[in-house]
Amino acid sequence: MLFHKKAVDLVYEHFVCLYCCTDIKDDDDDDDDDDDLRQWYFPKLFYNDPIFLQKQINATSQHTDFLSFDMTACERKNSEAVQVLLQYNADVNHRCNRGWTALHEAVARNDLEIIELLLQGGAKVESTNCYGITSLFVAAERGHNRTIDGSVVVCTAFIHFSFKFLVKNYVLLLIPDLLRFYFTHLSFSGADINTQASDKASALYEASKNGHEKIVEFLLSQGADANKTNKDGFLPIHVASKKGYYEIVKMLLPVTSRTRIKRSGISPLHLAAERNHDDVLEELIDAGFDVNATLSFERSRLYEDRRTSVLYFAVFNNNVYSTELLLEAGADPNVDLINPLLISIRHGCLKTMKLLLDYGANINAYIASHPTTFPATVMFSMKYLVLLKYLMDMGCDANSCFTCSYGCGPHPPIEVRRDRYNDPFCEMVSTPEMSRWAGPIIDVLLDYVGNVQLCSRLKEQIDSYEDWPLAHLCRIKIRIVIEKNRLSLIDTLPLPRRLILNHYTE
């Protein structure tokens, strides 16, 4: 039975299948005809019966205006069916409703034999789907590898834009690389290895994103530009660092412009630190990347905490190794709006706190967006008395916690206060969520101050605590005389151990 010229939908909706014209003019039987076509014609195509296929084409070709290329043959890797269809001038560049061509399908399935047949039949390597993706990107994204004649593993990806097919122009004879195989058939006239898809991603970017080392190596050897950004401003080295592909990062380092990286507003160090890729981070540092590089304003605002430094990412992830690596390389711990020391306090990581303080982190750090009359380090550690004591031992300013404009006079009710800026310590420690901790917190702070005037609100919180003994007053006086900058030498003084106030060592 012959059929009307009509597109027949096969296994997948996006595959456009074989068109055939028939002598039948009645449209009422179209649905039944399509069912017959599925039952009798396509099984022969699937199961490698080119003789049956050729007979069907011979029977219909005189009535056929054109024959669209059947991607199902490529899907099933049926090279004989492809040859027969090509002999009868099937449209090798026909697209499905998503712009997918037979060449896209063959490359996706890594079928070298069918790819060669399609190229010989005039397949356009520059054809793009509805997303602007060419066969090059399909190959680069999927990273197909194949071994030919027992030689080295090869990568698949080929170049589009104005490449022309040359059947006998074997420039690179028998090179066991599928990508180079394409070069044996494609003219280098007008070639552009740096072509980009609709999202501005290059083949090198796609290969770097998917971790295909061999493809990256080959693309670079053919002059691929490592300084082409995608629509988000990311370079191949950015995405390789983000994914943690160490070997790819090493290949991209010598060919990536530091100026272009700076212009992108983000360093590969940020991405490596954010994803805890310590080996990549170390390689980038060894290559001379600036550990004090900051995010651009546009990229920083994407984070709620407005982070900017690489060190912040490492501390935020509680990655002690990366933190130490960055600090040893010269990272400044006092760059961000929120000091990384405050983040380490929030995590309760004493080792990170010690590292940051040893490398000059501001122990009396404040938060500009939420100013208080006392250090934010105290505010962040109020629920962790061990950390609070450690900070006090290291010289944190405890006196500022006892500064109050109301003094011994009555304080306004906490619930009616609307302005939460420049909060004094007495107000913050008396809030409902902190009041149960107030007594122990004030007790710890009083250990590190001398003569201070307690406001009426603080007195309410410490009424239940006993007075200090004379020995404790001596400890406080000793610390006042030594001052903050020399507290680390307190253990060297010829004093009885009971007169040295050091909660952390206790």
Structural domain contains residue 458? no
| Residue 459: predicted pLDDT | 78
Q: What is the CATH number of the domain that holds 122?
A: 1.25.40.20
Q: How far is CA 323 from CA 244, 278, 315, in A?
A: 17, 10, 6
Q: Which residue has the higher pLDDT, 356 or 2?
A: 356
Structural domain contains residue 79? yes
| Residue 186: predicted pLDDT | 38
| Residue 343: predicted pLDDT | 96
Q: Which residue has the higher pLDDT, 233 or 49?
A: 233
pLDDT (tens digit, 9 = 90+) per residue, 327-382?
A: 999 999 999 999 999 999 999 999 999 999 999 999 999 998 888 889 999 999 98
| Residue 426: predicted pLDDT | 85
Query: pLDDT-derived band of residue 141, with 50, 70 and 90 as boundaries?
Result: low
| Residue 75: predicted pLDDT | 55
Q: Which two tokens stand for residue 5?
A: 């010229």
The alpha carbon dihedral of 93, 99, 103, 106 has a sign of negative
Domain of 52? Answer: 45-154
Query: pLDDT-derived band of residue 281, with 50, 70 and 90 as boundaries?
Result: very high
Kindly tell me if the per-residue pLDDT of 93 is higher than 70. Answer: yes
The one-character DSSP state at 402 is: G
Structural domain contains residue 183? no
Q: Which residue has the higher pLDDT, 388 or 482?
A: 388
Q: Mean of the per-residue pLDDT values for the chain?
A: 73
Structural domain contains residue 501? no
Most confident option among 60-69, 201-210, 241-250, 365-374: 241-250
| Residue 283: predicted pLDDT | 97
The rounded percent of the chain whose pLDDT value lies above 90 is 32
Q: How confident is the model over 402-431, as a mean pLDDT?
A: 72
Q: Which residue has the higher pLDDT, 39 or 292?
A: 292
Q: How confident is the model over 79-99, as a mean pLDDT?
A: 79
Structural domain contains residue 61? yes
Q: Which two tokens stand for residue 419?
A: 């302005």
The total domain count for the chain is: 1
Structural domain contains residue 231? no
Q: What are the helix (H) ranges across 222-309?
A: 236-243, 246-252, 258-264, 268-274, 278-286, 297-300
57 Cβ neighbours under 8 A, 6+ residues apart:
67, 84, 85, 88
Structural domain contains residue 128? yes
Kindly tell me if the per-residue pLDDT of 138 is higher than 90. Answer: no
